[in-house]
Amino acid sequence: MPLKNGELKGIDPKRKVLYRNFHDIGGTVYLIEISRNALKVFILLFPNFEVPEIYLCEVMAEKKAQKLMTESSNMFEELIKKFHIKYGKLQI
């Protein structure tokens, strides 16, 4: 999904989507996308999937993402349970 101003935040428009599903975080249901390119992993949270211009994101190095996945038994759902929104930013 192409994102408006995504490249300004370092989000690769040609990233490969690994996971996309809806989850409740702090009482708000987000469409969560976890995607990657060769060097980085992108975590995007869309509070309204019909307006993809509004989103929260976290861009991290592949090595850090691998560590988080290993701590989460290599399950995206377990990783997402660690997500928190604080001051309008994604905290993992």
Residue 2 resides in a domain: no
Domain presence at residue 92: no
Residue 79 lies in a domain: yes
pLDDT of residue 2: 59
3-state secondary structure the chain: CCCCCCHHHCCCCCCEEEEEEEEEECCEEEEEEEEECCCEEEEEEECCCCCCCCCEEEEEEHHHHHHHHHHCCCCHHHHHCCCEEECCEEEC
Does a structural domain hold residue 67? yes
Whether 40 is in a domain gets the answer: yes
pLDDT at 6 exceeding the cut of 80: no
pLDDT at 1 over 60: no
Domain membership of residue 21 (yes or no) is: yes
Residue 69 CB coordination number (10 Å): 17
Q: Are 37 and 12 in contact (CB under 8 A)?
A: yes
Instruction: Give the pLDDT confidence score for residue 81 in this predicted structure.
Output: 95
* Tally of domains in the chain: 1
* pLDDT per residue as tens digits for the range 22-75: 999 999 999 999 999 999 999 999 999 898 889 999 999 999 999 999 999 999
Domain coverage including residue 72: 7-87
In a domain, 51, yes or no: yes
Question: Is 80 among the domain residues?
Answer: yes
